[in-house]
Amino acid sequence: MIIDTHLHPTNLVDEAWRHTGTPFNGERMLKLMDGPYMINGKPRRIDMGFIQPPPGNTGYRDGNRMGREGIRDYMAYIAELCQKYPDRFIGNFNYNPRWGPENGAAELEFHVKEYGFKMLKLHANMHGYRPDRALDWLRPAMKKCAELGVVVLIHTGDGPYTIPTMFYPIIREFPMVNFIIGHFGIQTGGNYSFESFWMAMDTPNVYCESGWCFQSRIVEFAKELPKHKIVFGTDSPPNEPGMWLRELEVLCHEPPHGLGLSEDDLEGYLGNNIAKLVGIDPTPPPRNLEEAKARLTDTYAGLRREPAPA
């Protein structure tokens, strides 16, 4: 199965990225996930995805409720989708410490126990704090992540506050928490992919998200990184998933464009690596065209997700 770590469905037009038209809601997201996308000659879909609100919709606006109620409001649509489509969507809690660090930690616990959330998102640029200095703002949520087994996804790739190494203090303080370097350290304002690569090489609890990485660079990085250290994530919308699936598929090609990766190892990047981090059973890739087509019509009722902590 294919699992996307980075999706942004919304029932509001995004207030920071200013996407035009109607909101990119959960049903539009499912249609996008369904593809199909051709991978090694077989039609595939994105079977499951970690969903979060666009970070621009998680700040304060006139008329918002405050504290925990305000956090619950901006997470409400994501919680609704996780209940409506539990076989496709997994909750990612967007943590904005400016609503109160303890409030955020309490709401993280609520969303994990009530709705089965398995991931937390940090976006220091959108929420305006230095992650290497604002440790007291991060510790309450990180303690909950350690307690509940929640994976942390970090927006990285642009200044002033999301350069990957700025998160080293909190990563080192919580070695029992798994951290994913979002966007492989790349955004429109910078390229910190080599920083991200070495962080993942040198630090057992650091992983890299594939999306946004340059195709030729990810060949270099995948050749050296342990096979479990890359996870698939598209940041969609605005990104279109097919191009990032293709980027990983190319790893199965022969050098210099690829590195002769096996389909089993590709399946690790596409979904099994993140599945193992959050307690979902890994699955093999489809062995032939007929099996791939059958999976597209399957309800995936056999996929087992571990229950949320009691």
d(CA 295, CA 310): 32
CATH of the domain at 274: 3.20.20.140
Positions of the chain with pLDDT lower than 70, given as ranges? 298-310
Helices within 116-192 (DSSP H only) = 124-127, 135-148, 168-173
User: Does residue 303 form part of some domain?
Assistant: no
User: Does residue 305 form part of some domain?
Assistant: no
Q: What is the pLDDT of residue 17?
A: 73
Q: What is the pLDDT of residue 309?
A: 43
The DSSP bridge pattern shows strands 179-181 and 206-209 to be: parallel
Going by C-beta distance under 8 Å and a sequence separation of 6 or more, which residues neighbour residue 13?
A: 19, 20, 21, 22, 23
d(CA 310, CA 113): 6
User: Does residue 307 form part of some domain?
Assistant: no
Positive/negative CA dihedral, 53, 74, 163, 167? negative
User: Does residue 10 form part of some domain?
Assistant: yes
Q: What is the pLDDT of residue 310?
A: 39
User: Does residue 124 form part of some domain?
Assistant: yes
d(CA 24, CA 132): 34
**Domain around 216:** 3-16+23-296
Q: What is the pLDDT of residue 188?
A: 83
pTM, two decimal places: 0.94
Going by C-beta distance under 8 Å and a sequence separation of 6 or more, which residues neighbour residue 165?
A: 192, 195, 199
User: Does residue 309 form part of some domain?
Assistant: no
Cβ–Cβ under 8 Å, residues 125 and 97: no
User: Does residue 209 form part of some domain?
Assistant: yes
Q: What is the pLDDT of residue 56?
A: 86
Q: What is the pLDDT of residue 305?
A: 42
The pair of structure tokens assigned to 156 is 């990285």
Number of domains in the chain: 1
User: Does residue 310 form part of some domain?
Assistant: no
d(CA 26, CA 9): 5
